[in-house]
């Protein structure tokens, strides 16, 4: 899968790369013939990339449910999935930004930092409250760190005892 970029216009590759870096590629499934995934855009699109290789030839078949691909064009959603495949097959999990290798995790953390910095404190507080109200484990961990009273610690320990993924689960 080395020459796949040649099948895309430069601006499509750029948009696909942005979609990949921004985490729009989800539900990636690999089988013997290729990959399927959901790529979010103005809505969720189903993308399929199948390939066959021989010592002399490498052939791709790509489909996407977006309107742009219906006319037979290769779209940014396909490119985004191909970038995700490339990183998953590259054991370093790196991407190149401005000619420098950077880990996908590091790039994502940078994007998160930049996004939070661009928001007002009221928006950040509102989003944090929403997240903590929806997730009991995050809420308990947050309270343990910033509001250390005995009842919050006991509540957290009890919730961990009831969590099937926890080592504290009662047997």
Q: Going residue by residue through the chain, which has 171 residues, state the pLDDT in tens, using 9 for 90 and above.
A: 567 888 899 999 999 998 998 889 988 888 888 899 999 888 999 999 987 765 566 677 899 999 999 888 899 999 999 988 887 776 555 555 544 555 656 666 777 788 889 999 999 999 999 988 888 878 877 877 777 666 656 666 677 677 665 555 454
CA distance 140 to 133: 10
The answer as to whether 52 is a domain residue is yes
95 and 125 share one domain? no
21 and 84 share one domain? yes
The answer as to whether 79 is a domain residue is yes
143 and 80 share one domain? no
* Tally of domains within the chain: 2
The answer as to whether 167 is a domain residue is no
65 with 80: CB under 8 angstroms?
no
24 and 73 share one domain? yes
Q: Cα angle vertex 91, ends 60, 103, to 5°?
A: 105
Give the structural domain span for 48: 4-103
143 and 90 share one domain? no
């Amino acid at each position: 899968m080395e020459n796949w970029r040649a099948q895309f216009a430069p601006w499509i590759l750029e948009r696909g790369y942005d979609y990949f870096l921004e985490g729009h590629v989800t539900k990636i499934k690999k089988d013997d013939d290729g990959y399927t995934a959901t790529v979010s855009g103005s809505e969720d699109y189903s993308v399929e990339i199948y390939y066959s290789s021989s010592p002399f030839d490498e052939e791709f078949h790509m489909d996407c449910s977006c309107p742009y691909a219906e006319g037979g064009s290769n779209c940014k959603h396909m490119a985004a999935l191909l970038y995700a495949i490339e990183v998953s097959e590259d054991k370093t999990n790196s991407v190149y930004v401005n000619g420098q290798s950077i880990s996908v995790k590091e790039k994502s953390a940078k994007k998160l930092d930049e996004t939070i910095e661009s928001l007002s404190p009221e928006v950040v507080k509102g989003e944090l409250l929403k997240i903590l109200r929806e997730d009991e484990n995050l809420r308990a961990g947050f309270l343990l760190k910033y509001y250390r009273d005995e009842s919050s610690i006991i509540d957290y320990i009890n919730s961990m005892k009831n969590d099937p993924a926890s080592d504290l689960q009662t047997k």
